[in-house]
Amino acid sequence: MTRVKLLGMNKATTAASTGRGPADHDVRDQIVTAATDHFRLYGYEKTTVSDLAKAIGFSKAYIYKFFESKQAIGELICANCLQQIEADVKAAIDGTDRPPEKLRRMFKAVVESSLRLFFDNRKLYDIAASAAGEHWEAVRVFEERIQAMLQDILRQGRESEEFERKTPLDETAAAIQLVMRPYLNPLLLQYNFDYAEHAPAQLSSLVLRSLSP
């Protein structure tokens, strides 16, 4: 098992023992980075905190000083992965001013970014799948942010008179999110690969027709 080099560790360890501060954040970041590499190689489910301690070069007790459990580390890694999907979606919808096109791009970015996570980092994807199955906080926050983006697009579309206004905004956003769910939810994503190529265009077209004023 490859040991991870952690630069400046002695200084950070000494500072961390005197109280919370910047050094503590540095050590937490180093643990998360090392754990991400380890999970990528060996998987989340098969790794214990003891395995991480050996790989990083820390004692198990020292890791518990910063994270109360393996899940706490996994949740932070999961949040980082989901934030990347969120960033990809935001970049896609910021590239146009027209609400209908924003919605089309959102569907496309969700599918493409989610599939990238699956294919490029399968073992990290497994963490996200575990998070979805166990309803971790990181997944709930991610879904709330996606819904907020949807509501903003819908609001713009209503202001420009391109979308209908009768259905309550939050109800419409929630319904669209359910349509996107097979590609937003990491646990469901693995069962929808066969439709990934055509799904964004077909689903967004269906939704846009339903939004016509």
Q: What is the pLDDT of residue 30?
A: 85
Q: Does CATH number 3.40.50.300 belong to domain 9-68? A: no
Please, are residues 93 and 102 in contact by the beta-carbon 8 Å criterion? Answer: yes
Determine the Cα–Cα distance for residues 43 and 46; give it in Å rounded to an integer: 6
CATH architecture of 73-210: Orthogonal Bundle (1.10)
Q: What is the pLDDT of residue 46?
A: 82
pTM (two decimals):
0.77
Q: What is the pLDDT of residue 23?
A: 60
Task: Look at residue 69 and give its three-state secondary structure.
Answer: coil
pLDDT tens, residue order, the chain (213 aa): 434 333 333 333 333 333 344 467 788 888 888 888 888 888 888 888 998 888 888 889 999 999 998 889 988 888 888 888 899 999 999 999 999 999 999 999 999 988 887 777 777 777 877 788 788 888 889 899 999 999 999 999 999 999 999 999 999 999 999 999 988 887 788 788 888 889 999 999 999 999 999
Q: What is the pLDDT of residue 134?
A: 81
Task: Look at residue 93 and give its three-state secondary structure.
Answer: helix
What residues does CATH 1.10.357.10 cover in the chain? 73-210
Q: What is the pLDDT of residue 4?
A: 38
Q: What is the pLDDT of residue 6?
A: 37
Determine the Cα–Cα distance for residues 165 and 9; give it in Å rounded to an integer: 57
What residues does CATH 1.10.10.60 cover in the chain? 9-68
Task: Look at residue 77 and give its three-state secondary structure.
Answer: helix
CA separation (Å) from 34 to 30, 83, 125, 147, 195?
A: 6, 19, 17, 32, 35
